[in-house]
């Protein structure tokens, strides 16, 4: 069995540079998504071709590297004792992420053949209304801040330069791995109960934080 040093020495100088770039990208953004652009595509296939080296190297820091069939490479913790890959989302951000995840899964399960899954702000607002947050999110403040955070971790993309009536939210396949399905189900149930009992303006509903996969600053 080859050691890390042997696998490293088998790489060319240019491949070693790509390896370093991929590691930095994963540590910073958690996900590499093949279909974002040519740069991400090259990194995805490089990681896929050298998965053993990436796994052995990043395992030393407490991570597993997982290559998904749908074009996603993700970084995840490999030990319950060392939690090093967590981004803390507040309640508002968690609800928005949950709605985006639901929209993505609905479109996939409905048989969408589009290579790029997108949604609109009206569709997102309709989902948010189910949590009784109608009108609570302003594109210029809470919502935009949350979407920019998700984009930072390669979960979505929004072209903010597009006119309002043409602006789409691109949902990357990585969004389905931002939280485990069981965590989402538990979270949704909890939020719905709180909303019904406390109402949309309750401070105790909005101030709590919720863990999701990602790098904590």
Query: Domain 86-213 carries which CATH code?
Result: 1.10.10
CB burial of 133-167 (b: ≥16 within 10 Å; e: otherwise) equals: beebbeeeebbeebbebbbebbbbbbeeeeeeeee
Where exactly are the structural domains of the chain? Answer: 4-77, 86-213
pLDDT tens per residue, range 148-182: 999 999 999 999 999 988 999 999 999 988 876 66
pLDDT at residue 201 in the model: 43
CA dihedral 118, 105, 129, 190 (to 10 degrees): -140
pLDDT at residue 120 in the model: 94
> 121-129 and 91-109 are packed helices; what angle lies between their axes, rounded to 10 degrees?
110
pLDDT at residue 184 in the model: 63
Same fold, 4-77 and 86-213: yes
What Cα–Cα distance (Å) separates residue 86 from each residue in 122, 151, 154? 30, 16, 15
CATH topology of domain 4-77: Arc Repressor Mutant, subunit A (1.10.10)
Please state whether the predicted TM-score (pTM) of the whole model is above 0.85.
no
pLDDT at residue 210 in the model: 37
Going by C-beta distance under 8 Å and a sequence separation of 6 or more, which residues neighbour residue 128?
95, 96, 99, 134, 136, 137
pLDDT in tens, the chain (217 residues): 578 899 999 999 999 999 999 999 999 999 999 999 999 999 999 999 999 999 999 998 889 999 999 999 999 887 654 444 556 777 788 888 888 988 998 888 887 656 789 999 999 988 888 776 655 555 456 788 999 999 999 999 999 999 988 999 999 999 988 876 666 666 666 665 655 555 444 433 333 333 444 444 3
């Amino acid at each position: 069995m080859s050691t890390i040093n042997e696998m490293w020495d088998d790489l060319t100088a240019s491949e070693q540079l790509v390896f370093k770039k991929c590691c930095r990208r994963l540590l910073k953004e958690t996900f590499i998504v093949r279909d974002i652009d040519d740069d991400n595509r090259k990194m995805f296939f490089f990681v896929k071709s050298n998965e053993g080296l990436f796994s052995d190297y990043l395992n030393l820091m407490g991570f597993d590297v997982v290559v998904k069939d749908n074009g996603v490479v993700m970084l995840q913790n490999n030990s319950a004792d060392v939690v090093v890959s967590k981004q803390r989302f507040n309640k508002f951000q968690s609800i928005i992420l949950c709605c985006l995840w639901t929209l993505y899964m609905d479109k996939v399960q409905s048989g969408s053949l589009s290579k790029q899954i997108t949604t609109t702000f009206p569709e997102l607002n309709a989902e948010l209304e189910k949590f009784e947050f109608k009108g609570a999110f302003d594109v210029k403040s809470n919502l935009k801040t949350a979407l920019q955070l998700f984009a930072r971790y390669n979960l979505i993309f929004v072209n903010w330069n597009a006119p309002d009536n043409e602006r789409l939210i691109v949902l990357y396949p990585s969004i389905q791995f931002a939280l485990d399905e069981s965590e989402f189900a538990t979270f949704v149930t909890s939020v719905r109960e709180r909303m019904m009992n406390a109402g949309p303006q309750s401070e105790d509903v909005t101030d709590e934080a919720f863990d999701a996969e990602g790098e904590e600053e």
